[in-house]
Amino acid sequence: MVLATAETTTSLDFGPAVALSCRECGARYDLGPIFACSDCFGPLEVAYAWTPPGDAGAAKVTREQIESGPANIWRYRALLPVPADVASHRNLAPGWTKLVKAENLGRELGLRSLHIKDDSGNPTHSFKDRVVAIALEAARNFGFHTLSCSSTGNLAGAVTAAAARAGLDACVFIPSDLEEAKIVMASVYGGRLVGIDGTYDDVNRFCSELIGDPLGDKWGFVNVNLRPYYAEGSKTLAFEIVEQLGWRLPDQIVIPVASGSQLTKIDKAFKELIALGLVEERPYKIFAAQALGCSPVSAAFKAGHDFVRPVKPDTIAKSLAIGNPADGPYVLDIARRTGGAVEDVTDAEVVDSIRLLARTEGIFAETAGGVTVGVLRKLVANGVLDPDAETVVLNTGDGLKTLDAVSALARPTAVIRPSLDAFRTAIADHS
């Protein structure tokens, strides 16, 4: 574990962030490239001036200030560990993606008010651009020259693209059996792309080793030694949903679970908005979605456990294929505390749900989006979701990255010569 040195601390500018604090024991640390509590090994989180027991008035952030900001995540810079002038830095400026009023899908599922937060509109077409943008600022603060990560695919592309724009080196690690589109995307921006023969969990363990080695000196692993900063980026999904709903918390939200970090931070963001008086407090339920082939959190929820037993992933939803999810226990806790649930769907349901979403809303989601829409459908059918409550479901990635999931089913109706007769015949054949 690397501790922050006095040298790096002097010139740091993390805006409103004042410290790191242990999620388990509350121990506080100076802001640095560290991620685990040296007392209890709990995960570290970013603490702000207003973080309890701090001063809730310290933020002095108003809706009007936010609304006058840029159409990207930097409109929330006063609520993130970034300097005030972050919008002028060279970065991909992700976020402010569409919150789509999904009337067609809602009608088909029997939901009165359904919205899709569609993060396929981000620069590299997944929500990972959000978290990487925050980690990039931390890497700059700590004087790192190389941006790195372990990735199930989307993150690798987000990191290499962000490094390219920022002028940093990149070296990213992925399981070698990823989808072709994710491999190409992770490589095309330059930097080094290293395939690892193994699962994502193997890649992740390897990166933890590398951090302790001189080879990894001055490297910012966005989801390891920069993880406390990185993870804060997921809060912007919640901030945007609340603002786009007209400064209102949704009643119900369905979130995909890989490591569980995103779900945990969305809950944190809702609580921060309430604490800061930016949104009215009201109950909300958080639902977590997994693919059956990698559903350790769902299995634990259904078994009533408060621990998560690791699994070896086997699902087409590769971006969610983390068999040993670091934040799994927190996901269980949040689902139970808010009155939500954790559910899973089969790969066949994932494919069917991708097609359902495309056909009804014109949104082509990657497999992770098939997982959330599939779980949404299952929860409605099982009577777990309230069909009359305002519901938001996340699509965190783009169908173009997981073409294989649907390519066998998404073919031309017919291939013909350019003649009306041929077309008449083809129509007759297919009607």
Residue of the chain from 165, 305, 336, 378 that contacts a second copy (CB under 8 A)? 165
Instruction: Give me the helix-helix angle, 154-166 and 180-188, nearest 10°.
Output: 10
Q: How far apart are CA 395 and CA 373, in angstroms?
A: 8
Q: How far apart are CA 118 and CA 102, in angstroms?
A: 11
Q: Minimum distance from CB of 347 to a second copy (Å)?
A: 17
State which residue, 267 or 398, has the beta carbon closest to a second copy: 398
Phi, psi angle pair for 397, to nearest 5°: -155, -175
| Residues numbered 379-408 forming contacts with a second copy, rule: CB under 8 A | 398-401, 403, 406-407
Q: Minimum distance from CB of 215 to a second copy (Å)?
A: 7
Q: Does 415 bind a second copy (CB under 8 A)?
A: yes
DSSP string, 215-232: GGTTEEETTTTTHHHHHH
Nearest-Å Rg of the Cα atoms of the chain is 22
Q: Does 25 bind a second copy (CB under 8 A)?
A: no
Instruction: Give me the helix-helix angle, 128-141 and 154-166, nearest 10°.
Output: 40
Q: Are 137 and 167 in contact (CB under 8 A)?
A: no
Q: Does 66 bind a second copy (CB under 8 A)?
A: no
**Nearest Cα to 344, choosing from 265, 254, 234?**
254
| Residues numbered 68-87 forming contacts with a second copy, rule: CB under 8 A | 71
| Residues numbered 85-114 forming contacts with a second copy, rule: CB under 8 A | 90, 92-93, 96, 98, 103-104
Residue of the chain from 55, 85, 209, 314 that contacts a second copy (CB under 8 A)? 209
| Residues numbered 283-342 forming contacts with a second copy, rule: CB under 8 A | none
State which residue, 23 or 205, has the beta carbon closest to a second copy: 205
Task: Name residues whose C-beta falls within 8 Å of residue 188's C-beta, 6 or more positions apart in sequence.
Answer: 160
Q: Does 348 bind a second copy (CB under 8 A)?
A: no
Q: Does 197 bind a second copy (CB under 8 A)?
A: yes
Q: Does 410 bind a second copy (CB under 8 A)?
A: yes
Q: Does 364 bind a second copy (CB under 8 A)?
A: yes
Q: How far apart are CA 374 and CA 385, in angstroms?
A: 13
Residue of the chain from 1, 40, 84, 188 that contacts a second copy (CB under 8 A)? 188
State which residue, 126 or 295, has the beta carbon closest to a second copy: 126
DSSP string, 268-286: HHHHHHHHTTSS-----EE
Residue of the chain from 383, 418, 428, 429 that contacts a second copy (CB under 8 A)? 418
Residue of the chain from 12, 87, 275, 426 that contacts a second copy (CB under 8 A)? 426
State which residue, 204 or 298, has the beta carbon closest to a second copy: 204
- For a second copy (CB under 8 A), the number of binding residues is 77
Reported as type and span, the H/E element at residue 424 is helix 420-430
Phi, psi angle pair for 360, to nearest 5°: -95, -35
Q: How far is CA 297 from the centre of its chain?
A: 16
State which residue, 250 or 399, has the beta carbon closest to a second copy: 399
Q: Does 421 bind a second copy (CB under 8 A)?
A: no
State which residue, 266 or 406, has the beta carbon closest to a second copy: 406
**3 state DSSP class of 116:** strand
Stretch that binds a second copy, among 4-12, 230-238, 342-350, 351-359 (CB under 8 A): 351-359
